[in-house]
Amino acid sequence: MGALHGRVDDPDLRPFRTDLDKYYAISAEGRRGPRQRLRLWLLNADFRVVACYRFDQAVRRYHRQHRVLGLAPRIVSAVWRRRTSTIHHAEIDHRARIGPGLYLMHHTGVFVGPVSIGDNCVLHHNVTIGQRVAAGDQGVPRIGNDVWIGPGATISGDVTIGDGATISAGTIIARDVPPRALVAGNPGRVVNADYDNSAMLNYRVRRPAPVQDDGADEQVDRALAEYARLRDPAGDRQLEAVKAAIFLEDVFDVVLREDDIDPDQLGTAEGMRAVLARAGRPA
């Protein structure tokens, strides 16, 4: 089992450092000498796809705060993304929210839409994760922590993949998958309800011990205050909810579903916590 090397104090704040540590742990057996660094940064195309995604996320955050200074990095990021898509045939949507510890085992043919993926995910080649076109399903998958997804798997629509799940090669997922389940086939069926995929992941994401404070409550209070500021007694409540949802997505770095943009839910602390929890963010 791979282990962190003490460099990542907070995986949420530095997800790319966790990705990097995972690549060293798996690809170089934890070694970080000049030879290993050179091979990873220059010769490992799988790693460059992950680096491209993380760079684009960082650039977009910077550009939101510095519109003028952030323009040049946005152009560089756009060129890099196009090159990654054209040469490596891999694309991760900029709206995707992916936790620390992302690892592409083989990058070719990977497409990830505006989905939510937790910590320590492993993706193989020819994997598609995104919106389902049939039956008017506009939802996107929500994938938990420690999920292994095999070659040729397809996950689409408004489905939830539980923590520790394992998606076998060639599996088509169109419904929820329980935690720790091993699924296979088309359509995917549970073939083992309690499967340990830790040896396949070969890594763990270490998080700092939770601090007992009111930080989460303060963030929710801040979001509620912003919602109250946006409200207009004579205005369109749905439009106000959309503005509040945009604020939440920026502050909490989440992607909300259409049915989460509900003025009745976003107007209370309990409702807002529930919305954030569904979006994969503890509140």
Q: Tell me what the mean pLDDT of segment 3-22 comes to.
A: 69
pLDDT for residue 3 is more than 50: no
Q: How many CA atoms lie within 13 A of 1 on its CB side?
A: 11
Per-residue pLDDT band at 245 (split at 50, 70, 90): confident
Q: Tell me what the mean pLDDT of segment 258-273 comes to.
A: 74
pLDDT for residue 94 is more than 80: yes
Least confident of 26-40, 66-80, 85-99, 237-251: 237-251
pLDDT at 211: 46
Residue 75: partners with Cβ closer than 8 Å, 6 or more residues away: none
List of E strands, 84-233:
91-92, 97-98, 103-104, 111-112, 116-117, 122-123, 128-130, 142-143, 148-149, 154-156, 160-161, 166-167, 172-173, 182-184, 189-192
Q: Find the length of the chain.
A: 283
- Domain residues of the chain, as ranges? 15-201, 215-278
Per-residue pLDDT band at 4 (split at 50, 70, 90): very low
pTM of the prediction?
Answer: 0.71
Mean pLDDT of the chain, nearest integer: 84
pLDDT for residue 283 is more than 50: no
d(CA 233, CA 186): 51
The predicted-structure confidence for 185-224, as pLDDT tens digits, reads as follows: 999 999 999 999 999 999 988 766 544 444 556 666 776 7
d(CA 122, CA 165): 11
- Smallest CA-to-CA distance from 227 within 272, 259, 270, 260 is with 272
- 15-201: CATH topology: UDP N-Acetylglucosamine Acyltransferase; domain 1 (2.160.10)
d(CA 141, CA 279): 11
CA 91 to chain centre: 14
Residue 42: partners with Cβ closer than 8 Å, 6 or more residues away: none
Per-residue pLDDT band at 231 (split at 50, 70, 90): low
Torsion, CA 255, CA 257, CA 262, CA 268, rounded to 10:
-50
Higher-confidence position of 273 and 1: 273
The predicted-structure confidence for 29-62, as pLDDT tens digits, reads as follows: 888 899 999 999 999 999 999 999 999 999 999 9
d(CA 89, CA 108): 5
Burial (CB < 10 A; 0-12, 13-18, 19+), residue 187, is exposed
pLDDT at 278: 72
CA 207 to chain centre: 16
pLDDT at 226: 67
